[in-house]
């Protein structure tokens, strides 16, 4: 990691690790097989000689390995990684002390193996031949990466939303490797409401004729359906309060209503913008696979996840559970259910509900309270 004297930008590089070279070598929770698997990852800071100062950051639905800093080839205007306010020298997750790892999840399209990757059996993109992957499968691929990097113990595993599910799955799958865990704005079981929103988003994608049962990689992409799916998502990431504050009933054209269907209100333009921005960077099939993995997630049920919360008994990870007061996708009552379930297995759990009107996406918005909370928790572990 170097600092550029002119811009003080932190430079990071996206790297790739592959395993399971033989086709279909890795068995998944679905009993289907996949291979070879590539994991795109980025690191900041340095691993100490004890190999125990690593922090794994797990990204959410459409995130990627680019958690902080800039690529050397970035233009001066290029934004840094998605959690740059949290991760860096002297920040909440302090790269002067910790070796930070963030990798793209299995099933995504940002460098790790997913439905847009080439299927070695056909030399074409997988499409729907990609096997269903679970949060557990994502965590297993992260474990392979940590083994490769020589990390023996995680000082912490941190993540929000679908990233928080990975955090919890880490704790039940590899409890002895996890010194602490920070699940943020997440749940231990995906609710009917959350499943419903995901299913409507999937239906919007699959309704697009360009989707073509997932086989669209050599033609037009299902951009229209994907944009609708993203708009649905964005409504759930915000809150009633935030939308009132940000948009209210403000019009694009202050003078009058259009009396047509092009969109009058600023909130409509915002959603259109989010939809068209998203289709440029993300693969529709990856949305299908990752939302399905989230829907299947239920740590209170061993239907597919071989390990459940009961597996935590006898371990001594420390937990910091964080929720947001206006998150209605994974509301605070679900965080409290998680806290109670953890306490029943005698875990050391701290819980904080942050008052914020920004809804589910609040953890992605710069907030000194969140940085201080996480920094203090991590520092406390080091001192103990």
Q: Smallest gap, in angstroms, from Cβ of residue 156 to a second copy?
A: 29
- Give me the least distance between CB of 305 and a second copy, in Å please: 11
Exactly one of 1, 46, 47, 128 binds a second copy (CB under 8 A); that residue is: 128
**Two structure tokens written together for 50:** 């004890």
Can you tell me whether residue 330 is helix, strand or coil? coil
Q: Could you say which DSSP state residue 116 is in?
A: T
**Cα–Cα distance, 136 to 138 (Å, whole number):** 5
Nearest by Cα to 309 from 281, 275, 280, 338: 338
Q: Is 55 helix (H, G, I), strand (E, B) or coil?
A: strand
- Return the closest-CA partner of residue 342 out of 322, 312, 378, 315: 312
CB 220 to a second copy: min, Å: 12
Active site residues: 161, 327, 360
Q: At what angle do helices 162-173 and 284-296 cross, to 10 degrees?
A: 50
User: Which range binds a second copy by CB under 8 A, 62-70, 177-185, 193-201, 349-357?
Assistant: 193-201
Query: Binding residues for a second copy, how many (CB under 8 A)?
Result: 60
- 15, 52, 74, 268: which one contacts a second copy (CB under 8 A)? 268
Q: Give the C-alpha separation, 95 to 253, whole Å.
A: 46
Please identify, among the stretches 266-274, 313-321, 339-347, 366-374, the one whose residues bind a second copy according to the rule CB under 8 A: 266-274
CB atoms within 10 A of CB 22: 10
Least Å distance, CB 333 to a second copy, is 9
**Residue 169 parent element (H or E):** helix 162-173
Residues within window 211-250 making contact with a second copy, judged by CB under 8 A: 224-225, 227-228, 231-232, 235, 238, 240, 243-244, 246-249
Closer residue to a second copy in complex, CB, 217/247: 247
Of residues 6, 257, 314, 383, which one binds a second copy by CB under 8 A? 257
- Which lies closer to a second copy via its Cβ, residue 91 or residue 272? 272
b/e map 71-103, b = 16+ CB within 10 Å: beeeeeeeebbbbbbbbbeebbbbbebbbbbbb
Q: Does 352 bind a second copy (CB under 8 A)?
A: no
Site for a second copy in 279-318 (CB under 8 A): 288, 292, 295-296, 298, 301, 303-304
SS3 (DSSP) at 218? coil
Spatial separation of the C-alpha atoms in residues 136 and 28, rounded to whole Å: 9
Cα dihedral sign for 116, 232, 370, 80?
Answer: positive
Report if residue 173 touches a second copy, rule: CB under 8 A: no
Residue 253 near a second copy by CB under 8 A: no
What's the rounded Cα separation, in Å, for the pair 326 and 334? 13
Interactions with a second copy, residue window 47-106 (CB under 8 A):
none
Mask: binding to a second copy, 14-53, rule CB under 8 A, as x and -? Answer: ----------------x-x---------------------
* Binding window for a second copy (CB under 8 A); candidates: 49-57, 100-108, 202-210, 348-356: 202-210
Name the minimum Å distance from CB 139 to a second copy: 18
Least CB distance from residue 183 to a second copy, whole Å? 19
Would you state the structure tokens that stand for residue 262, as one six-digit string? Answer: 């092009």
Phi, psi values for residue 288, rounded to 5°? -60, -50
The pair phi, psi for residue 334, each rounded to 5°, is: -75, -35
The CA radius of gyration of the chain, in Å to the nearest whole number, is: 21
Give the residues lining the site for a second copy (CB under 8 A): 30, 32, 128, 131-132, 189-193, 195-197, 199-200, 202-204, 206-209, 224-225, 227-228, 231-232, 235, 238, 240, 243-244, 246-249, 256-257, 259-261, 263-265, 267-268, 271-272, 275, 288, 292, 295-296, 298, 301, 303-304, 328, 331
């Amino acid at each position: 990691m170097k600092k550029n004297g002119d811009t003080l930008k932190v430079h990071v590089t996206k790297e790739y690790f592959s395993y399971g070279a033989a086709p279909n070598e890795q068995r998944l929770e679905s009993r289907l097989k996949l291979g070879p698997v590539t994991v795109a990852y980025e690191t900041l800071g340095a691993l100490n000689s004890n190999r125990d100062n690593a922090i794994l950051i797990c990204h959410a639905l459409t995130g990627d390995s680019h958690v902080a800093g800039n690529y050397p080839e970035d233009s001066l205007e290029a934004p840094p990684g998605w959690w740059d306010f949290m991760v860096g020298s002297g920040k909440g997750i302090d790269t002067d002390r910790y070796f930070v790892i963030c990798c793209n999840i299995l099933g995504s399209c940002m460098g790790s193996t997913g439905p847009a990757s080439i299927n070695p059996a056909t030399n074409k993109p997988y499409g729907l031949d990609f096997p269903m992957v679970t949060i557990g499968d994502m965590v297993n691929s992260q474990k392979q990466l940590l083994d490769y990097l020589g990390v023996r113990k995680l000082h912490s595993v941190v993540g929000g939303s679908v990233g928080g599910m990975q955090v919890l799955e880490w704790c039940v799958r590899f409890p002895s490797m996890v010194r602490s865990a920070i699940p943020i704005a997440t749940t231990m079981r995906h609710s009917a409401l959350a499943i419903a929103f995901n299913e409507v988003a999937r239906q919007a994608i699959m309704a697009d004729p360009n989707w073509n049962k997932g086989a669209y990689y050599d033609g037009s992409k299902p951009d229209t359906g994907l944009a609708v799916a993203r708009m649905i998502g964005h409504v759930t990431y915000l809150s009633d309060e935030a939308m009132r504050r940000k948009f209210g009933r403000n019009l694009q054209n202050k003078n009058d209503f259009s009396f047509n269907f092009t969109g009058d209100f600023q909130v409509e333009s915002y959603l259109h913008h989010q939809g068209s921005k998203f289709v440029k960077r993300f693969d529709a099939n990856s949305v299908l696979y990752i939302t399905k993995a989230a829907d299947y997630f239920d740590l209170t049920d061993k239907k597919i996840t071989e390990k459940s919360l009961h597996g935590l008994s006898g371990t001594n990870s420390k937990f910091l559970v964080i929720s947001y007061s206006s998150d209605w996708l994974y509301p605070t009552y679900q965080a409290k259910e998680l806290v109670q379930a953890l306490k029943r297995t005698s875990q050391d759990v701290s819980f904080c509900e942050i008052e914020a009107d920004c809804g589910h996406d609040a953890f992605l918005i710069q907030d000194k309270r969140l940085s201080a909370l996480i920094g203090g928790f991590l520092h406390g572990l080091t001192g103990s």
